[in-house]
Chain A
């Protein structure tokens, strides 16, 4: 993967030269910048919107999501992470919709919505259990891998469906990304605590 860019961009005395800027920016913002961009944006939104009680969890999820976005869809772990986040969001939305519907319908007519709301809820729950079943029923072919590998599979997102060889590669990339994320967060915490 690409390294973090260490040289600062040269000062541009003429801000209205788009060709120069575009050719310089064609060397793409580095992965660390992408990480910072996504994470800070998420952080500002969280501090605005989320109540204080549930912030830790949300910030942690935002950290993993920004890691996955910065890594790009070329990596299996980043795709798995973003897929997890998406399914979780869909599930909470579905559940919230079901509860709202249930509440609304119970106010209107008490008899039928219980069955319908219950059915919808069971369907939503069934979807997640089916997903879990499909996840568990997919043991990858493991030739000579050590028994400790399944612990690694649990740690690395999307590690269940990988062969041992690609698991190692994904672990390396995941480790690099995790380290960058930890450095970023540590820097932010230092910033805001050394007032």
Chain B
């Protein structure tokens, strides 16, 4: 398969408000097997047996944002929060266990640096945390709420969907909670089982008024998180927990933003487009493959697939392929079979090319 692939993704429409992000990870292994153009070869890594179902490929060092430092994903989140607390005197960070640094170390050092009235713990009450955050945001302070795992966000679902998302609309723009950002660790981690592995982005994407953002690496994470915080709409920022330590890149030390509501083209090609977010990978043309960990039925891939076929039906050479999780609760022992890994994506690409 010696064809070069052109990566092309139509920008997601602002109404969908999903930042689709591309991970170079599978792209490189796929490139290896598909014998793609030399520009891809530099990203090839040998396949090693890891707890993770992939090996993270760092981005090239960004030069346009100033000096950089080696950081992993949780450190890039800390850096973003540090920048925010420094530049915005109304910013507060709260959630379960954030004071000592958080269960994933995303808030290490912030309480010591900025004081206990700006970085503080809440009791164990997700609904309370988000409701409280909405209040803080509406009154004019920048609220950054942490939900300890995305799986625990459901007690707060009503507050997010019914209160936060609809505030501006129902008050005729008199009030809004644009100052609210909710952060939560997201996605499978190898041993998370039913309640530490979920990807609930589809539930929130369905709700107008919210923005849902999922980064693919440290450089993206910091930029996107800073964009979410400054964005004048309530945002939910899901952080792929498997990348917290696994993804290491050179990240700019100063604040910078990456625009939301725009897809990022990772690699150009001409045969297939892969689209994904978080820990999946991306490639396309005339053929589209969308991949996510969440169950396939009603997952966000369905929305993208439907929109794309509406807008470029005649360009499609093959049905849009979705490589997603099974329609089961996230399994305990069956996780390696459940997750849509590179082999399943590869099989789907082959079927599409040969359609």
Q: Do A and B come from one complex?
A: no
Give residues in B with beta carbon < 8 Å to A.
Answer: none
Which of A's residues lie within 8 Å of B, judged by CB? none
